Amino acid sequence: MRSKLLHIFRNTPLGRETLFQSIYFCKQLNILPVVYIPRFTKFLMYFENDVVQIDLDDSYLTSADTAIDRITAMMEQEEIQPSFIEPQNFTASTLPDLPTDFDFMCCPRSMSDLSSKIGLGHIGTKVRWIIKYAHFPILLTSPVFKKWKSITVFFGGSANALKALRLGFRLSKISKMPLDIFTQLEENSPEVYKQIIKDEDLEDSLNQNIRKWHFFESGKFENNLYHVPHDALVVLGAYGYGLIKEMLFGSKMEKIQATISNNLLIAGPKYFVSK
Amino acid sequence: MKILSSLQTPTKLNFFHSDDRMLLIFIGSIIGACSGTAAAALNHFLHIAFTFFYPIRHHWWAFIFPASGAFLSALFLGKIVKDGAGHGVPEVIYSVSRHGGLLRFRSSFSRLVSSFLTIGSGGSAGPEAPVVMSGAAIGSNIANFFSMNDRQRITLLACGSAGAISAIFNAPIAGMVFTIEVILGGWRSANIAPIAIAAVAGTEISRFLQGDQIAFPHQLFDIRFPDIMACIGLSIFTVVASVLFTKFLRTTGSLSKKIKTPLMVRAAIGGCAVGIIGYFFPVALGEGYHSVREMITSTFTCGLPILLLGLMAKMFATSLTLGFGGSGGIFAPCLVIGSLTGLIFYKTISVLFPSVIWVNEGYFALIGMAGLISGVMQAPLTGIFLIVEITGGYEVILPLILISTISSTLCNYIEPASFYLKDLKEKNLLLHPGTDAGILSVLTVHEVIEKDCTTVKQNMLLRDFIKIISKSRRNYFPVENEKNGKFTGIIHLDDIRSFIFNPSIYNVVVLEQITTTGIKTADPDDNLLDILKTMDKDGLFSMPVVTNGIFIGMVSKATILDQYRKELMVQTTEI
């Protein structure tokens, strides 16, 4: 069955750039984009063990009457049949429930703030929540439409990083794009990471898909990020920490998104990928 | 770190692993205490607000208080915590019905603040529904913290609701019964112990913080046979009042949505109107318990016309408060309207039957409350136990049973869904766990789709098809258009048996000629309940699933039944 990507549309220049990113992503990976045009500034997503309320800013309600035509035109230009989602259930009269049975979801880096504030260096609280609870990966797009021609996976050896790696293999196979892996050697040698791959029985997949595995032995992580190709889709695992935990424990996701402007595909802790 | 992690998933601890009842009772008691504290706090602050506003309510300019209270309440809900308005109880029922009891964390405090602003300033509403919402959200979020499953979460949500109602009325049995009858919609033995303990914890906390006092003074009534029989007549009055009140609430809510102004302005307009009504009929303001006390003790001295006007005023005021965006519930207004209905009935029969000696007006006010609660909520047991507990009078149990059952039955006959459930039923959102619709609603086509079907092309010769049949274990073969891959129909082995045993036509017949076309198909996003209805109606055992004209698999009754059993076990296993 064809995979589906959920896109929350906003009828503004930034929103249309984001839709272009979704369309490109879907086209490369043969995914069906499903668009939700908000009628209210909030909606709920019921995940398996939590409910997340997304509070959108008012710009999401801009020119709702022209939204369908614009989306249709943009999709048909790329020969994609537009598909829309209309909420069937409402928790309260102005609080629709969106289904969560998607395979991907596209978000700007922040959904609740005005678009004028959005730039690199800030991932909104709601987007973090979605990452934390969603069983699907989240596509965090760059502010302007940017085609990607390769896939880069950040692999640090954790369980989430393994999920990201498996996801990267899958995307590389479907899109037939080259795959690079980036690893910052913190206190381990490259052999440790290779052993993790071996233990997880991923050696064959690695050999089939990989173009190059970059190990960074020295230098700050942020500085090494400049080696990431500017036209790569960056895939990484993340815990979706809130702001407080992030301040206490630090966050690789935050460093990556604040440093590079690539499109990011983030696999959260609840993302399930079949082995 | 390991200890912390095991505390967050207590169901994995050996002690709780085989039987979670002890765990639910333990956590339920904590939740009951938390929700009881929240309820007692709201009650306390409402009392302070009442004491503050009472001396100045008689001024003509006092209408500004309910207006500003409703404005602030809507501002707080809409702009600060960004929570939806509403009574709260339907949202809790919806969450139990459709989402395994998941409620947002913000709901654990948002309605407490907003209802304090609405009711404390004089808006006509009750604090009970907000505390139910708050208690249920506390239960749901604590269950999430401990990584509990849907069944356990629903039980803990119910514990929160029971603790809240028990605390606000100092009535543990009413809290339990309300939760089981209204929130859960059914009795399950595994739920009863945690809910009962939570109700006890909530009540104890309330008694500790507010003292052990009943809401309304206990009265001794000398009830005789005519008084019991009079309940039948009073139940007609309470049914009329219940239906009218429900209609007022719904109509005002729909009308207010047509006013194209921000919710805060709308709430302020409603509050203004309530303030003006309250200037002439003070009984219409606030929760109204003060007036109920007077009615029960027979010190509410008004004639029949004033009582009738007061009844209408209270109905209007509550509808305006809640329908226009204020925050609160209908429990307390039901008690006021019920007692007013009881008094009206008493005055009427006193005129009609002057020679009969009736007990007194307090008795009719009291059973009128039970009649209205049972009618509006269609929850007779809640009506009976609540009135027994909040008045401390067991001697009225027979009339209470009589009026509650008659009132709820007649109301159900006129209006098949209670006020809380009407919207949910109309939108087909009420699906209790463990019921047929409840199980099918959580299953999706994706979970039951069979993808091991062999598709064949419409121009294929029968000879080639026979070879495919010989290797296949299935009876259905979807047929596709060779050029565009679109689904054209299906071949069922039963339909082509005569062709199979006639080798002379093997090279002549192509599949297009023997394909059954125009058959009903399902979409991957279709509801399984609808798919099953279609299968039953058309006598089908399987249906092809097609999206954008492309065949993607089959759904069959056998696979649906298999998944249905698994989900049934998940939803109904007691331990």
| pLDDT one-digit tens code per residue, B296-343 | 888 887 888 899 999 999 999 999 999 888 888 898 999 999 999 999
Residue at token pair 């609160």: B328
Of the candidates B95, B104, B147, the beta carbon closest to that of A53 is on B104
The answer, yes or no, to whether residue B246 has pLDDT greater than 90, is yes
The answer, yes or no, to whether residue B433 has pLDDT greater than 70, is no
Taking the Cβ of residue B11 and every Cβ of chain A, the question of whether any pair is shorter than 8 Å is answered with: no
Per CATH, the number for A150-267 is 3.40.50.620
- Averaged pLDDT, B73-99: 84
Averaged pLDDT in 10-residue chunks for chain A of 275 residues: 84 88 91 90 85 83 86 89 86 86 81 52 69 87 87 87 90 90 82 86 82 84 84 84 54 75 87 68
Cβ neighbour number for residue B209 with a 10 Å cutoff: 15
The token pair that represents B215 in the structure block:
């809401």
Residues 6+ apart with CB under 8 A from B377: B182, B334, B383, B418, B419, B420
CB contact under 8 A, A93 and B84: yes
Bin B477: left if φ > 0, else alpha if -120 < ψ < 50, else beta. Answer: beta
Which whole-number Å values give the CA distances from B113 to A55, A236, B218, B273, B319, in the listed order? 20, 41, 31, 22, 20
Could you read off the pLDDT of B380-395 as tens digits, one per residue?
999 999 988 888 778 8
pLDDT at A274: 58
Beta pairing partners, A215: A183
Coil, strand or helix at B69: helix
The answer, yes or no, to whether residue B16 has pLDDT greater than 60, is no
Any idea where the domains of chain A sit in the sequence? 4-140, 150-267
- Ramachandran angles phi, psi of A191, nearest 5°: -60, -35
Name the range with the highest mean pLDDT among A95-109, B8-22, B230-244. Answer: B230-244
Question: For B546, which residue in chain A has the nearest alpha carbon?
Answer: A1
Percent of chain B at pLDDT exceeding 90? 33
pLDDT at B12: 61
DSSP for residue B126: B
Question: For A85, which residue in chain B has the nearest alpha carbon?
Answer: B525
Banded model confidence at residue B286, pLDDT cuts 50, 70, 90: confident
The token pair that represents B435 in the structure block:
């019921």
Q: How many residues does chain B have?
A: 575
Task: Provide the shortest C-alpha distance from residue B111 to chain A (in Å).
Answer: 14
In a 13 Å sphere around the CA of B495, the CA atoms on its Cβ side amount to: 13
Taking the Cβ of residue B102 and every Cβ of chain A, the question of whether any pair is shorter than 8 Å is answered with: yes
Taking the Cβ of residue B444 and every Cβ of chain A, the question of whether any pair is shorter than 8 Å is answered with: yes
- Averaged pLDDT, B51-61: 83
Q: Given this chain, do its domains A4-140 and A150-267 carry the same CATH topology? A: yes
Residues 6+ apart with CB under 8 A from B370: B338, B383, B384, B386, B387, B400, B403, B404, B407
Domains of chain B: 2-213 (1.10.3080.10), 225-426 (1.10.3080.10), 439-572 (3.10.580.10)
CATH class of A4-140: alpha beta
d(CA A125, CA B563): 37
Question: For A50, which residue in chain B has the nearest alpha carbon?
Answer: B102
Write down the mean pLDDT value for chain B: 86
Q: In what order do the strands lie in the sheet with A138-140?
A: A83-84, A32-36, A4-8, A104-107, A138-140, A264-267, A232-237, A150-154, A179-184, A210-216
The answer, yes or no, to whether residue B92 has pLDDT greater than 60, is yes
Cβ neighbour number for residue A251 with a 10 Å cutoff: 19
d(CA B174, CA B374): 13
ipTM of the shown complex: 0.75
Would you give the end-to-end CA distance of chain B in angstroms?
29
The token pair that represents A252 in the structure block:
């690789």
Taking the Cβ of residue A66 and every Cβ of chain B, the question of whether any pair is shorter than 8 Å is answered with: no
CB contact under 8 A, A53 and B82: yes
Which whole-number Å values give the CA distances from A25 to A7, A31, A80, A164, B108, in the listed order? 11, 8, 12, 17, 39
d(CA A176, CA B567): 39
Residues 6+ apart with CB under 8 A from B45: B116, B120
Q: What is the pTM of this model?
A: 0.81
DSSP for residue A274: -
B157 vs A242, residue with greater confidence: B157
Instruction: Calculate Rg over the CA atoms of chain B.
Output: 30
Could you read off the pLDDT of B348-385 as tens digits, one per residue?
999 998 888 888 888 899 999 999 999 999 999 999 99
pLDDT at B160: 96
pLDDT at A120: 46
Contact call for residues B165 and B171 (beta carbons, < 8 A)? yes
Residues 6+ apart with CB under 8 A from A46: A97, A100, B99, B102
- Ramachandran angles phi, psi of B439, nearest 5°: -75, -45
Contact call for residues B179 and B202 (beta carbons, < 8 A)? no
- Helices and strands (H, E) in chain B, number of each type: 26, 6
- Ramachandran angles phi, psi of A54, nearest 5°: -100, 120
